[in-house]
Structure 1
Amino acid sequence: MEWVKRSAFALVVVLIAAFVALATWEPFAAHTADAPAPREYTAEITRDPYGVPHIYGETDADVAFGVAMAQSEDDFFTLQDVIAMSRGRYGAIAGQDGAVFDYAYHLLDARGTAMREYPKLPADTRALFEAYAAGLNQFAADNPDEVKLANLFPVNGEDVAAGFVLRQPFFFGLANIIQPLVEGTPLRREFGPEIPGFENTPPAGPSALSQPDQAHRGVHPLPWGEDAALLGSNAWAVTPEKSGGPTTLISNSHQPLRGGVAWYELTVESGEGWHFTGANFPGSPFPFLGHNENLGWTNTVNRPDMTDVYKLEMNEAGTQYRLDGEWRDLESRTVTLPVRMGPVVLPIRRTIHRSIHGPVIENDEGFFAIRYGGMDSVQQLDAYYRLNKAENLDEWQTQMARMAVPSTNFIYADREGNIAYVYNAAIPDRPEDVKANWRGVLDGSRSDLIWEGSVDYSELPKIINPSSGWLYNANNEPYTAAGAADDIRPENVSPILGVELKQTNRSRRAYKLLSEANLLDRETLERIKYDTVYEREGYVADLWGALEAMEAQGDLAEARDLLLTWDFDADNEGRADALALLMIRDFMSAEYQNKSEAPDAKQALREAADHLKEHFGRIDPPMSDLIRLRQGEVDLPLDGGSDTLRASTTWEVDDDGRLSLVHGDSFIQWVEWPAPGSEGDARVSSRSIQPFGSAITRPESPHHTDQMQLFVDHKLKPVYFWREDAIAHATRQYRVTNAE
């Protein structure tokens, strides 16, 4: 029996050793970064009554250091997730969900792109990113107990750049190509205009193109698992002539309320002339939208056809692909994805492929390469910085014309009364003289289908200073933007560009209300911004038509009849508002994502009615009891719906049956420049609001929930853009530095 004991003891030793190895291997095997070159940075942070930081430094680099410190103070939790993704280590924090991002990190060659392209950026841009990395490192060194993952710090500018490379493509829907290719499920893509000589809708099957239904998964630091475009956004710009007063720019983004693509509000100002207020995402040294003294802009997601898929002809071994009759070696490498499972981190091996086309994914149908606009570029890092410092429309358009920001609509306004709409996208420069169905899966053996670069800025749809005096976008096609007299005509835009043909309810409402208004003053614009009405068009008309035709009895008939009395206004006043809120979202999602079939109306009605009865005991509770804004101990009612201008877009269902908002109206900024020649203070002013507060992951902070009531009440707070105003209203003012 002694040998049995010895064997058991040996087995225990082996198991303990294996456990220790799995619990400790990842930090030692991970990519390590060199810290930025030693340099001292100092910034002044002034917190306003809502905790929003005004960050001042003598140099732009000092300010970038301060940005990292301020945001770490408020949301170091999320910043670490973003940094872990930029190092291919998010799976070591978030398990299998995180490993999905790490796979994309390797597939898209985020690190390789950063290593190749980041050193080519101008020195002042790189200085900004090195300073931002130094700020992250400083906060981590000062607060070691908050660090989630060993050897995550130090980071450098290249690490931050790799995060940009990884994140940007997901905003034009690259996840909706990668995920079904990985899973071997049918592809679907945004439908655009007809390409002459080809069917617009590819045949059903593995090579069909459409978008998987991903709208209602949980919030991740990247929009993987949910269509970024589905998050929405609204934007308006109005001239002084139309407003009867100031040039007005309204930014109304619909982002997740938490996580790595949630807005963080800040103002930056330096002795070198950088002065901008707005919002960024964790992992950025500069705001992505907002305004400076002279001009401003905001963004909405657009959905051009930015990605082409190629079916490769492979040899039997799967190691070579044919191109123009010759065999080429497929680049392949094995990577290790760290996947946390409880107290251990498993090393999962995956093979990553790449061809001359771009990243390659293998599934049961074969090998598929993808090529997308903005691929293998980091120029957006420099472009956003230059846009922050632009002083007039010409300088701003010069930066836009670089086509460095891969996607998103831009709505612009400035102190001179100019307004502009640019359907911005680094759309592939597909050869128009080559006969191909760019909406389908392309022949990967033809090199003439492998385009280089993007189309010229002059080819993009854009409107500058329309006679109507207003511009808007609500994730709609660019052909409704400024009113009938000024709108772009679709026939004037090449179908090869793949510009989407789609309206949203928000677009229909905005276009109608703007077109009907004689004067777009502040009061009128506020009514439009917070409008909660659905037009009976598109998917809404289809759904109500199905309800009218539905045969139902008993409780189901009662629910149907209640919906047929609805006034199409999600304003918390009608008996049918709650039931309609539950019904509409999935039908909106189906149309938005070009699904071949809408949900079954009878089944959806049954599920919605059952939910309300189970949790509220009735099918007609006040909608404000159902849809809630929740953070910590604060629990407030909301209005608006999934596709209304006052947007309560997507939610999680809590245990009590209430719907807790996870994305919809998020950062709102209202900017006004007094009309040229007007009396009094001619300086720009703005107001803003966030759904929660600046300290998004700091429950102990007074700024964790302090904007919630204002947000629910449709109110805005002042932005202290000017340094003297920030100091005059400061609740705290302090210096941050990495000096010894």
Structure 2
Amino acid sequence: MGLKRFRSGRYIIRVFSFLLTLMFVLLIGSQSFGSPPKLTKTEILWDTYGVPHIYAKDNQSAFQSFGWAQMQSHGNLLLQLYGQARGRAAEYWGDEYLESDKWVQTVGVPERSHSWYLAQSREFRGYLDAFAAGINAYAQEHKDLIADEVEIVLPVKGEDVLAHQMRVLNFTFIVNPEQVADVSQKETQAGSNGWAIAPSHTENGHAMLLANPHLPWSDLFVWYEAQITAPGIDAYGATLVGIPVLAIAFNDNLGWTHTVNTLDGWDAYELKLANNGYRFDGQVRPFETKTLSLKVKQKNGALLSEKLLVRSSVHGPVISRKDGKTVALRVVGLDKPRVLEQWWDMARSQNLTQFQTVLKRLQLPMFTVMYADREGHIMHLFNGQVPIRQKGDFEYWQGLIPGDTSKTLWTKTHPYEDLPRVIDPKSGWLQNTNDPPWTTTFPQVLDPDNYPSYMAPRGPIYFRAQRSLRMLTEDDKISLAEMISNKQSTRMELADRLLDDLIPAIRNYKSELANRCADVLSAWDRQANADSRGAVLFASWADAIDLDSVFSKPWSENSPFTTPDGLANPQSAVTTLLTVAAKVEKAYGSLDVAWGDVFRLQSGDIDLPANGGDGYLGIFRVLNFAPLSDGRFKSVAGDSYVAAIEFSQPVKAMTLNSYGNATQPGSPYVGDQLKLLARKQLRQVWRSRQDILKHLAERKAF
């Protein structure tokens, strides 16, 4: 009896000890898997790279703090963007913004932002108001740090946040005004790289994610890096200035990135005019019209009014074109007002099932979603609102569409289940570099024949995508360090495809200049590193030729990664090269001028040699340049926010925000990361409070 009692007692002790251990594990797990401990106060901890780490007692405080933080880092830019989203920028700052106002007002951004605001859930509407309150509070407390000319936008309201979001997503990314309207805004250089690598393809058996958007380095395309910790969320990532939630992010369990996908989310309908209306299904319909009054600030400060007549057909607003045709514009997503809430809930998700449940809302009108998680799952979703069309392939819908029949008028979009999607492929990896979804992995999993022909183009697969695919297939086991090294690759796939034909053709020309060109290109490492010699000559030649006709073997769907190839007309190619070579030598003093001597990273007093170049050259490390007055070039777009994430325990992450995490004059974080960019380096992400405090630059308590 005593022995039984002893054994029973020992058993109870073991069970009790096990339960205590289990409770401890669950407690620790809950804290590291997206449920941080409840906080009693709210504060922003700024690290030495100007990244705000927000610790909020509740979600409303998190949004308010994020508004405050964005104002401290980007106040002038944010208010200017909100003023433009209101369609009142010309009233605030003069006639140089009049075309922008006409575009924003014609497509209905200010008016629709009010209905979108009312369509939010009561809870999320409160979050938008809190974000606006944070903006206003900062401006009130720091009037001396905000430019006088942008203060007129204050106070900001929740509707302004939605108007800005709509202008960015629906009327810049989906359809740029330059594509359809007689305005001066240039078409955006929007692109991205994204990788998701499964444990089977990594060195240490943890899934990895590469986030690498390529956007212009100014205006509404500026990325802002941050960490947000509040009840139910502990996410790190980046968003575009003025957006109140993270758009690319990761937590302890999962992460995602976006690339600009080959989605056609807008159409231009050519209208046939008749009797002050337009023909539709055999009848003449009247336009819906309204007259708006736009105010324009004059140089003397006076305001003049200009009338704007807005006409709409059954398709959408009527846009004037340079060719004089009357065109109506139809854009997806205008009935999907809860994009921001979807992004917020994506960051709060803890596994693939939860994440997909959020994605199925399809509030986000476009962008590939590239996903990886701690459990080892990877996913590529061709995300977006794809119109259900009755006829035509992708190419057909790129042109003007007949607007006189309901047969071409789409009214619905495809559900989530219809969209191209790959989860956990046997290859162990997924990639997208703005190419169609069919080559997200290899061997191919997605068959374009299984989808409507208008869903996405079948090809071609351009050289940056081919470079991406090559790097992923050539290495069976990729480490985090190797993924980062590959991300920084400046090798020109175009050079690998053409130099084997071009160099012999140059040597056959038998001239002194031709011989020197051949010597330079033969010695060149085929990269665009700062010290690469020959890259300037080759890139200048590539700019001067017609890439659509230069190849002897065109791109083939049957050989997607080895075509196009070969020179169609070697003699013409050499003639063009010699003309270009003379210009290069005259401009820079030598044919083998170093890439970094010509292409620069500049911000304020910073002037550094660049590496990387345009994606059409087949460079994975994309930088786009604009000419300077001295014949050199300055980076203005391309690699911006970069994050390389390994879902180990704890998560390992490296990041960079190329141009720095601030634009506000006087901030020490303007351009401070260009030195890392020049050295091809990323920075360590500080996510734990302990690490953040070790690198603390400033603290703000609320």
CA shift for structure 1 position 279: 0.5
Partner of 2:636: 662
Taking the aligned partners of 1:259 and 1:85, their CA distance within structure 2 comes to 11
CA shift for structure 1 position 717: 1.5
Q: Please, which of 406, 413, 417 is the counterpart of residue 447 of structure 1?
A: 406
Matches within 5 A, 1:100-179: 100-145=99-144, 146=146, 147-149=148-150, 151-170=152-171, 172-175=173-176, 178-179=177-178
Structure 2 length-normalised TM: 0.83
Amino acid at match of 1:352: V
CA shift for structure 1 position 104: 1.9
3-state SS of paired residue (2:210): strand
Taking the aligned partners of 1:563 and 1:342, their CA distance within structure 2 comes to 54
Partner of 2:187: 226
Contact 2:395 2:454 in 1 (8 A): no
Taking the aligned partners of 2:504 and 2:296, their CA distance within structure 1 comes to 46
Residue 588 to residue 164, structure 1, CA distance change in 2 (3 Å): farther
Residue 572 to residue 376, structure 1, CA distance change in 2 (3 Å): same
Contact 2:76 2:150 in 1 (8 A): no
Amino acid at match of 2:317: P
Contact 1:267 1:275 in 2 (8 A): yes
Partner of 1:640: 612
- Partner deviation per Cα, 1:375-429 (whole Å, 9 max, x = no partner): 3432212211211211111111112122211111111011111110111121112
Taking the aligned partners of 1:543 and 1:310, their CA distance within structure 2 comes to 46
Taking the aligned partners of 2:394 and 2:66, their CA distance within structure 1 comes to 50
Contact 1:528 1:645 in 2 (8 A): no
CA shift for structure 1 position 701: 2.9
CA shift for structure 1 position 310: 1.5
- Partner deviation per Cα, 1:80-122 (whole Å, 9 max, x = no partner): 2211112112335665553332222112211222122221111
Taking the aligned partners of 1:434 and 1:252, their CA distance within structure 2 comes to 30
Taking the aligned partners of 1:115 and 1:42, their CA distance within structure 2 comes to 33
Partner of 2:280: 323
Alignment RMSD? 3.4
Q: Does 1:266 align with 2:226?
A: yes
Q: Does 1:468 align with 2:392?
A: no
Partner of 1:726: 692
Taking the aligned partners of 1:513 and 1:335, their CA distance within structure 2 comes to 54
Structure 1 length-normalised TM: 0.79
Residue 630 to residue 137, structure 1, CA distance change in 2 (3 Å): same
CA shift for structure 1 position 156: 0.9
Residue 507 to residue 563, structure 1, CA distance change in 2 (3 Å): farther
Contact 1:479 1:487 in 2 (8 A): yes
3-state SS of paired residue (1:624): helix
CA shift for structure 1 position 358: 1.0
Residue 127 to residue 460, structure 1, CA distance change in 2 (3 Å): same
Amino acid at match of 1:686: A
Contact 2:72 2:664 in 1 (8 A): no
Matches within 5 A, 1:166-245: 166-170=167-171, 172-175=173-176, 178-179=177-178, 181-183=180-182, 224-227=185-188, 230-245=189-204
Q: Please, which of 208, 214, 238 is the counterpart of residue 248 of structure 1?
A: 208
Taking the aligned partners of 1:285 and 1:304, their CA distance within structure 2 comes to 25
CA shift for structure 1 position 608: 5.4
Q: Please, which of 600, 607, 610 is the counterpart of residue 628 of structure 1?
A: 600
Task: Tell me the percent identity.
Answer: 28
Contact 2:520 2:591 in 1 (8 A): no
Amino acid at match of 2:664: T
3-state SS of paired residue (2:593): coil
- Structure 2: where are the runs of 5+ without partners? 1-39, 555-567
Contact 1:667 1:688 in 2 (8 A): yes
Taking the aligned partners of 1:528 and 1:691, their CA distance within structure 2 comes to 17
Report which stretch shifted further, 654-663 or 607-616.
607-616
Residue 508 to residue 498, structure 1, CA distance change in 2 (3 Å): closer
- Partner deviation per Cα, 1:54-94 (whole Å, 9 max, x = no partner): 01211112111111111111111211221111211233566
Taking the aligned partners of 2:463 and 2:393, their CA distance within structure 1 comes to 37
Q: Does 1:690 align with 2:657?
A: yes
CA shift for structure 1 position 727: 3.0
Residue 603 to residue 163, structure 1, CA distance change in 2 (3 Å): farther
Amino acid at match of 1:727: L
Taking the aligned partners of 1:725 and 1:555, their CA distance within structure 2 comes to 60
3-state SS of paired residue (2:465): helix
3-state SS of paired residue (1:368): strand
Residue 357 to residue 490, structure 1, CA distance change in 2 (3 Å): same
- Partner deviation per Cα, 1:662-697 (whole Å, 9 max, x = no partner): 1111111111111xxxxxxx2323221122322333
3-state SS of paired residue (1:63): helix
3-state SS of paired residue (1:494): coil
Taking the aligned partners of 1:149 and 1:92, their CA distance within structure 2 comes to 12
CA shift for structure 1 position 466: 0.8
Taking the aligned partners of 1:77 and 1:544, their CA distance within structure 2 comes to 52
Q: Does 1:334 align with 2:335?
A: no
Structure whose CA Rg is larger: 2
Q: Please, which of 319, 326, 329 is the counterpart of residue 361 of structure 1?
A: 319
Contact 2:530 2:597 in 1 (8 A): no
Taking the aligned partners of 1:505 and 1:513, their CA distance within structure 2 comes to 12
Contact 1:543 1:587 in 2 (8 A): no
- Structure 1: where are the runs of 5+ without partners? 1-40, 185-216, 218-223, 675-681
Matches within 5 A, 1:493-532: 493-499=451-457, 501-532=459-490
- Partner deviation per Cα, 1:690-726 (whole Å, 9 max, x = no partner): 223223333x333223322222212221222233432
Taking the aligned partners of 1:376 and 1:481, their CA distance within structure 2 comes to 30
Contact 1:615 1:656 in 2 (8 A): no
3-state SS of paired residue (1:237): strand
Residue 174 to residue 705, structure 1, CA distance change in 2 (3 Å): closer
Amino acid at match of 1:383: Q
Q: Please, which of 360, 384, 406 is the counterpart of residue 343 of structure 2?
A: 384
Taking the aligned partners of 2:435 and 2:115, their CA distance within structure 1 comes to 36
Taking the aligned partners of 2:304 and 2:192, their CA distance within structure 1 comes to 39
Residue 312 to residue 273, structure 1, CA distance change in 2 (3 Å): same
Amino acid at match of 1:697: Q
CA shift for structure 1 position 529: 1.2
Q: Please, which of 336, 340, 355 is the counterpart of residue 396 of structure 1?
A: 355
Taking the aligned partners of 2:545 and 2:530, their CA distance within structure 1 comes to 21
Report which stretch shifted further, 78-87 or 518-527.
518-527
Taking the aligned partners of 1:456 and 1:290, their CA distance within structure 2 comes to 25
Taking the aligned partners of 2:339 and 2:331, their CA distance within structure 1 comes to 15
Partner of 1:32: none
Taking the aligned partners of 1:542 and 1:671, their CA distance within structure 2 comes to 36
Contact 1:107 1:352 in 2 (8 A): yes
Q: Please, which of 487, 491, 502 is the counterpart of residue 445 of structure 2?
A: 487
Taking the aligned partners of 1:343 and 1:458, their CA distance within structure 2 comes to 58
Residue 605 to residue 106, structure 1, CA distance change in 2 (3 Å): farther
Residue 388 to residue 74, structure 1, CA distance change in 2 (3 Å): same
